A and B are shown apart, each in its own frame.
Chain A
Amino acid sequence: MAIRKSLGRRIGVNLLAWAIGFVIFFPILWTIMTSFKSELDAFAFPPKFFSVHWTLENYKEVLSRSNYPLFAYNSIVESVGANIVGLLIAIPAAWSMAFAPTIVPERKETRMLYAAMLAAILIAAAILYLIGDARGDWRIYGPIVAIACIPVVFWIATRRTPDVLMWMLSTKMMPGVGVLVPIFLWFRDLHLLDTRFGVGFMLMLMNLPIIIWMLYTYFKEIPAGILEAARMDGASLLNEIVYVLTPMATPGIASTMLLAVILSWNEAFWTLNLTTHDAAPLTAFIASYSAPEGLFWAKLSAASTLAIAPILVLGWLSQKQLVRGLTFGAVK
Chain B
Amino acid sequence: MGSIELQQVRKSFGSVNIIKGVDLQIKDGEFVVFVGPSGCGKSTLLRLIAGLEDVTGGKIVIDGKDATERGPAQRGLAMVFQSYALYPHMSVRNNIAFPLKMAKASKEVIDAKVARAAGTLNLTDYLDRRPGQLSGGQRQRVAIGRAIVREPSAFLFDEPLSNLDAALRVQMRLEIGELHKTLKTTMIYVTHDQVEAMTMADKIVVLDLGAIAQVGAPLDLYNRPDNLFVAKFIGSPTMNIVKGPSADKRGADCVGIRPEHTDISTTAGEWPGTVRIAEHLGSETFVYVDVDGIGPFTVRVDGEAPLHASDRVFLTPRESRLHRFNAAGARIAA
| Chain A in direct contact with chain B (Cβ < 8 angstroms) | yes
From A148-156, A163-171, A192-200, A225-233, the one touching the partner chain is A225-233
Q: Is B85 an interface residue (CB 8 A)?
A: yes
B50 near A226: Cβ-Cβ < 8 Å: no
Partner of B98, one of A233, A236, A250: A233
Separation of A225 and B87 alpha carbons in the complex (Å): 10
Number of chain B residues close to chain A: CB under 8 A: 24
Separation of A176 and B226 alpha carbons in the complex (Å): 71
Q: Is B258 an interface residue (CB 8 A)?
A: no
A234 near B102: Cβ-Cβ < 8 Å: yes
Give the interface residue-count category, chain A.
10 to 19
Q: A225-B85, A232-B77 are in contact. List 7 more A-B contacts (CB 8 A).
A: A104-B14, A232-B73, A233-B146, A235-B73, A236-B102, A248-B87, A250-B89
Chain B nearest CB from A288 CB (Å) reads 46
Q: Which residue of B lies closest to A229 (CB)?
A: B85
Separation of A220 and B74 alpha carbons in the complex (Å): 27
A229 near B81: Cβ-Cβ < 8 Å: yes
Kindly supply a per-residue 1/0 record for chain A positions 239-260, scoring 1 wherever the CB is within 8 Å of any chain B CB and 0 otherwise: 1000110011010000000000
B72 near A232: Cβ-Cβ < 8 Å: yes
**Residues of A that sit less than 8 Å from B by CB:** 104, 223, 225-226, 228-236, 239, 243-244, 247-248, 250
B73 near A234: Cβ-Cβ < 8 Å: yes
B85 near A248: Cβ-Cβ < 8 Å: no
Q: Collect the chain A residues with CB atoms within 8 Å of residue B89's CB.
A: 247-248, 250
Q: Which residue of B lies closest to A223 (CB)?
A: B83
Question: Which residues of chain B from 194 to 216 have any CB-CB distance to chain A below 8 Å in the complex?
Answer: none
Q: Collect the chain A residues with CB atoms within 8 Å of residue B150's CB.
A: 233-234
Q: Which residue of B lies closest to A235 (CB)?
A: B102
Q: Which residue of A lies closest to B149 (CB)?
A: A233
**Residues of B that sit less than 8 Å from A by CB:** 13-14, 50, 52, 71-73, 77-79, 81-83, 85-89, 98-99, 102-103, 146, 150
Chain B nearest CB from A17 CB (Å) reads 39
A223 near B72: Cβ-Cβ < 8 Å: no
B83 near A234: Cβ-Cβ < 8 Å: no
Q: Which residue of B lies closest to A237 (CB)?
A: B71
Q: Collect the chain A residues with CB atoms within 8 Å of residue B85's CB.
A: 223, 225-226, 228-229
Separation of A228 and B51 alpha carbons in the complex (Å): 10
Chain A nearest CB from B51 CB (Å) reads 8
Separation of A228 and B85 alpha carbons in the complex (Å): 8
Known contacts A104-B14, A235-B73, A230 near B98 by CB under 8 Å: yes
Q: Collect the chain B residues with CB atoms within 8 Å of residue A233's CB.
A: 73, 78, 98-99, 102, 146, 150
Residue of B13, B81, B82, B146 with most partner-chain A CB within 10 A: B81
Chain B nearest CB from A269 CB (Å) reads 39
Separation of A223 and B71 alpha carbons in the complex (Å): 20
A234 near B87: Cβ-Cβ < 8 Å: no
A232 near B102: Cβ-Cβ < 8 Å: no
Chain A nearest CB from B58 CB (Å) reads 21
B81 near A225: Cβ-Cβ < 8 Å: yes
Separation of A223 and B86 alpha carbons in the complex (Å): 10
Q: Collect the chain B residues with CB atoms within 8 Å of residue A235's CB.
A: 73, 98, 102
Q: Collect the chain B residues with CB atoms within 8 Å of residue A228's CB.
A: 52, 72, 79, 81, 85
